[in-house]
Amino acid sequence: MAASLILGAAGLAVTVLDIASFLQSLGGTPDPLKQTQVTLVIGNAPNSEGSIPDIYVKGPSGFQLAHSSDKSFFKDGHLEGSQPKTFIIDNDPGIDFYTQTNQPQYVSVVMTQGDAICLSAVIANGNGATYTWKGDMGAQCGAEWYESDFAIGNSNVPPKCVWLDSDHSNNIVASAVSMHMTDFAGPLLGQYQEKDEAGDNIGDARLCKNSARMTFYHEFEYGNWKSFREPLNFNESGAFEDPDLGIDRQKRAYPDGTELPWENVAKEKRSYPRNLSQKRNMNHQPDHLTISYLPSHSARRLCESETSRGADFLAVHGKEKLFCDMTRKHLFDVCDETHTQACFDMDKQEMRDVGVKIRRRDMSFGDVVPKKNYKTHSEWK
């Protein structure tokens, strides 16, 4: 039979069969009528590993199917970076899983311990259904994110990861994320990118301003976790018949009223190197450098994003050769024959200054060229 597609925001297809093989490689086989399998994929961003979160699962009508936090092995555990972790959770007593519609369609990942994680993907499997959500979706809507080099299945495009932290150390905003797992596949993604005749993106609100579809929470309360009030209907191509159903807020990714620090920063005129020094420091690991040779990664995209956070980032491939100072969100060229000053020296892993004479002649340079002293670095190929 033909395998249906699960598409990431980058547009690369991962088939359901690929996901099934991926899950089998992790070991453990749940009873499809009595248990739900949830796999969390942690990104390989620096310091992305952390505490095991609570996991809540609901069926299509919004009733609870399974909940992880009453299991002692979820408490005080640890998730490793660049690794998937599969949890097999007993379904709540009294759930009739012989009814095929009772499938794990809603999932919430809730941090309760103090060590943050960067979440790349969630895969829910139960009662004959497998659903996948990727961190690309959160990053697209304005959740805090970083690149990762851990790909899923046979895809060669690693999904981005999104940051979650219960105690909000390093000023991470979200402690939890909920998602309607059926809504991130195939034809639906085109509806999230749809534009009207004037060229305005009318699809963004369908993905990013729909509380039941996906929400990042500063503090999670189970009673505020929304489900769709009526079933979603699909046309013959698999797209929504009413793609605007459920749009209910003004803020992207987060509930209305959530305080987002980057919204309070005055927008400034773009320059090159781009000076975003007014913005808060989003680099919580200043002594680490990430070097990526993966063509799907972009230092420019990371540096120009208001919501990216993580270590300094160097992208070196056919499309780009740039360095992002994540502490101030400055973008610099990599030193070569053309760029010899105010550039990043790959060999020495430090910034090359403009020189004393130029500084004396042109005081406008100020501290634009930062001092860098890395203790560790990672290379992604």
Give me the residue spans of the domains in the chain: 5-224, 262-380
Tokens in use for 291? Answer: 């070097």
Note whether 43 and 80 are within 8 A (CB).
no
Gyration radius (Cα) of the chain, Å: 22
Taking the CA of residue 179 as centre, how many other CA atoms within 13 Å lie in the half-sphere pointing to its CB?
A: 24
Note whether 183 and 192 are within 8 A (CB).
no
d(CA 80, CA 86): 12
Task: With H, G, I as helix, E, B as strand and everything else as coil, classify residue 233.
Answer: coil
| Close Cβ partners of 194 (under 8 Å, ≥ 6 residues apart) | 201, 202, 203, 206, 243
What pLDDT sits at residue 4? 34
**Alpha carbon 274 to chain centroid distance?**
24
39, β-bridge pairs: 86, 123
d(CA 215, CA 53): 16
- The 10s digit of each residue's pLDDT in 194-228 is 999 999 999 999 999 999 999 999 999 999 999 99
What pLDDT sits at residue 155? 83
What pLDDT sits at residue 26? 61
Tokens in use for 230? Answer: 């009526």
Other Cβ atoms less than 10 A from the Cβ of 324: the count is 30
What pLDDT sits at residue 326? 96
Taking the CA of residue 172 as centre, how many other CA atoms within 13 Å lie in the half-sphere pointing to its CB?
A: 30
**What is the side-by-side order of every strand in the sheet holding 288-292?**
330-333, 320-325, 312-317, 288-292, 376-380
What pLDDT sits at residue 288? 97
195, β-bridge pairs: 201
What pLDDT sits at residue 274? 44
Tokens in use for 292? Answer: 């990526």
Note whether 218 and 258 are within 8 A (CB).
yes
Burial state string for 211-243 with b = 16 or more CB within 10 A and e = fewer than 16: bbbbbbbbebeeeebbbbeeebeeeeeeebeeb
5-224 homologous superfamily: PLAT/LH2 domain (2.60.60.20)
What pLDDT sits at residue 156? 86
* DSSP string over 66-89: EESTTSGGGTT-EE-TTEEEEEEE
User: Dihedral (C-alpha) 360, 366, 372, 373: value to the nearest 10 degrees?
Assistant: 70
Query: In this structure, are strands 117-126 and 35-42 parallel, antiparallel, or unpaired?
Result: antiparallel
d(CA 165, CA 118): 9
The amino acid that residue 296 corresponds to is S
Tokens in use for 69? Answer: 């936090």
Note whether 17 and 30 are within 8 A (CB).
no
d(CA 91, CA 73): 16
The parts of the chain modelled with pLDDT lower than 50 are 1-17, 100, 266-278, 356-366
What pLDDT sits at residue 329? 93
